Amino acid sequence: MQFVEEIVVDEFLPTVRSLLAGDLRDRGLTQSEVAEVLGISQSAVSKYAHGDVTVNDRIADDERVRDLVDELGSGLAGGEISPVQALIELEVLIRDLEGGGDLLAQLHEEAVPELADHGSSFRVHDPESDPRSSERVLSSLRRGLRVLETASGFTGLIPAVGSNLVACTPDAEGVDDVAGVPGRIFDVKGRATVPADPEFGVSEHVARVLLAARRHGADVAAGINVTYEPELIDELAQRGHVAAEFDESGDVASSVGAAIEEEPEATVLYQTGGMGIEPLIYVLGTDAESVADAIRSLV
């Protein structure tokens, strides 16, 4: 009897550690620095460097694994990603790869052929469970926030009330199902400052706009608010976005709903302000990374 966790420990973990160790060494980190970042001994790093650890080629050649190793190597080397955040990112990938028919599930079934009798829907860990969905939302948000933090000129788009990048779970119903940045993103001496790791239930304003759009049929799961400028609306339109105006002085949910019903394909919502209301643009998308990329394209 062999559990899928044993595949993770015996095959996935050594392979990913080996790839990460090599990536970090290529980025100029010393052997001791790599050991500290990965939470392993220097002798273990030496084994990885000299090829003394068996690597599973199927895992090493998987595009998702290689892309994440490259992303984590860059973030860990530059200090933009903490070891804990890297661990969460890898945990999310592991759960995705354990899905029925995916790479770790295949390796597990090959190690335990009897599992094939349970069909392709067999899953030891259901990646669609609520905890896994929440992990994926937070992971996507962290990646989106890193895009914004390193986007030159983003601070020029942050409104006086601050920006917030938010994302929701697939079955989101209320603000507690929407994750965002506690305290919002602010311009501090020309630098976009994210005061804390994203959490669920901390964004009411941008979350309400996102939820209202979803309730009226918009196929979106993330959003951000930025300062309003007519030129930005034009530029977003040139990049393929559909824009719709709404009135934030009244009931936001109703106003957003009316705007979406008029422009069902809208991924940009905006309001031009009023008494005590700052004009804002809301850019929506399928995930936090795509929203962040849309904003980066403007600066």
Q: Please indicate, yes or no, whether residues 104 and 43 belong to a single structural domain of this protein.
A: yes
Quick one: pLDDT band at residue 131, thresholds 50, 70, 90?
low
Q: Please indicate, yes or no, whether residues 156 and 285 belong to a single structural domain of this protein.
A: yes
Q: ∠247-292-96 over CA atoms, to 5°?
A: 115
Residue 123 maps to a domain: no
Asked if 152 and 101 touch (Cβ cutoff 8 Å), the reply is no
Residue 200 maps to a domain: yes
CA dist list (Å): 280 to 65, 119, 133, 244 = 38, 50, 29, 12
Supply 183's token pair.
């305290």
Residue 125 maps to a domain: no
Instruction: Assess whether pLDDT exceeds 90 at residue 23.
Output: yes
Q: What pLDDT digit, counting tens, does each position of 192-229 carry?
A: 999 999 999 999 999 999 999 999 999 999 999 999 99
Taking the complete model, does pTM exceed 0.75, yes or no? no
Helix or strand run (H / E) with residue 296: helix 288-296
In terms of pLDDT, which residue wins out, 114 or 186?
186
Calculate mean pLDDT across residues 55-75: 94
Quick one: pLDDT band at residue 130, thresholds 50, 70, 90?
low
Q: Please indicate, yes or no, whether residues 97 and 143 belong to a single structural domain of this protein.
A: no
Q: Please indicate, yes or no, whether residues 94 and 135 belong to a single structural domain of this protein.
A: no
At 275, which amino acid appears? M
Asked if 224 and 164 touch (Cβ cutoff 8 Å), the reply is yes
In terms of pLDDT, which residue wins out, 10 or 284?
284
Instruction: Assess whether pLDDT exceeds 60 at residue 124.
Output: no
Q: Please indicate, yes or no, whether residues 90 and 181 belong to a single structural domain of this protein.
A: no
Q: Please indicate, yes or no, whether residues 166 and 271 belong to a single structural domain of this protein.
A: yes
> In the predicted model, what is the mean pLDDT of the chain?
89
Q: Please indicate, yes or no, whether residues 168 and 266 belong to a single structural domain of this protein.
A: yes
- Cα 245 to Cα 193: distance, rounded to the nearest angstrom: 29
Closest CA to 138 of 175, 184, 180: 180
Q: Please indicate, yes or no, whether residues 215 and 76 belong to a single structural domain of this protein.
A: no
Domain boundary, last residue among 115, 147, 175: 115
Question: How many domains does the chain divide into?
Answer: 2
DSSP secondary structure string for all residues of 87-122: HHHHHHHHHHHTSTTSHHHHHHHHHSGGGGGG-TT-
For tokens 């650890």, the residue is 53
205-209, 260-264, 269-273, 274-278: least confident range: 274-278
For tokens 């608010």, the residue is 225
Q: What is the pLDDT of residue 105?
A: 78
Q: What pLDDT digit, counting tens, does each position of 238-259 carry?
A: 999 999 999 987 788 999 999 9
φ/ψ (deg, to 5) at 78: -90, -5
Calculate mean pLDDT across residues 25-49: 89
Q: What is the pLDDT of residue 1?
A: 59
Residue 256 maps to a domain: yes
Q: What pLDDT digit, counting tens, does each position of 91-114 carry?
A: 888 888 877 668 887 887 788 776
Domain boundary, last residue among 82, 115, 148: 115
Domain with 267 in it: 130-297
Domain boundary, last residue among 115, 147, 182: 115
